[in-house]
Amino acid sequence: MSETSDQPRSASPGPRWHRRLLWPVIVLAWASIVFWGWQAVQQYLPLRVPRKDFAPLGAYDSIQAVTGPVTVRLENLGEVRLAGLAEPEDAAARADAAGRLAERAPPGTRVYVEPEWTPADIETPCASVFLCPPDVWPDRPFPYGEASLLGAVLVREGLTVVDRFAPYRYRAEFLMLEDDARRHGRGLWGKR
């Protein structure tokens, strides 16, 4: 009988660098398959963001008159309701809100108006109305950071409450402003 050695034999003959190179090659192959597969499938997926420039959301107009605690009449668009706001129930609170609105947006004030969803039980269309900064040009994008939202002014000062049932683009901001007015006892919250 021949003697066998007790030394283990290597699993794969050849140099060790071949085994070290195998995993990076496999990972690179899978990554390229996934990348090219995504490129092929992506053209059939619906677009999340349009490739063209966004159309403007609203229109420029000017205030003609304040017609209520949360409504204004515009020169071109007619009467609109400030979206996201509920009218105060108390007559004195309604008068305070209308007075502050007239003070903040006197006739002739330039505004930027964005249409919003209007509930079925309200006849007047709802809109977000921004006070235009003095150097705004209609051919440039509207500077939201420099403008103030009329509804936010009323909520911040506690003159109206947020409509909790209607969906609204700036609802989260309005709820924070209402909470701040409530905590600091401004407007309606100071009378309680």
- Per-residue pLDDT tens for 61-86? 999 999 999 999 999 989 999 999 99
Tell me the Cα Rg of the chain: 32
Token pair in block for residue 176: 């924070």
Residues ≥6 apart with Cβ < 8 Å to 96: 88, 159, 187
- Per-residue pLDDT tens for 172-189? 999 999 999 999 999 888
Q: Are 107 and 63 in contact (CB under 8 A)?
A: yes
Q: Are 155 and 142 in contact (CB under 8 A)?
A: no
Residue closest to 85 by CA, chosen among 113, 58, 119: 119
pLDDT value, residue 138: 74
Show the low-confidence residues of the chain (pLDDT under 50).
Answer: 47-55
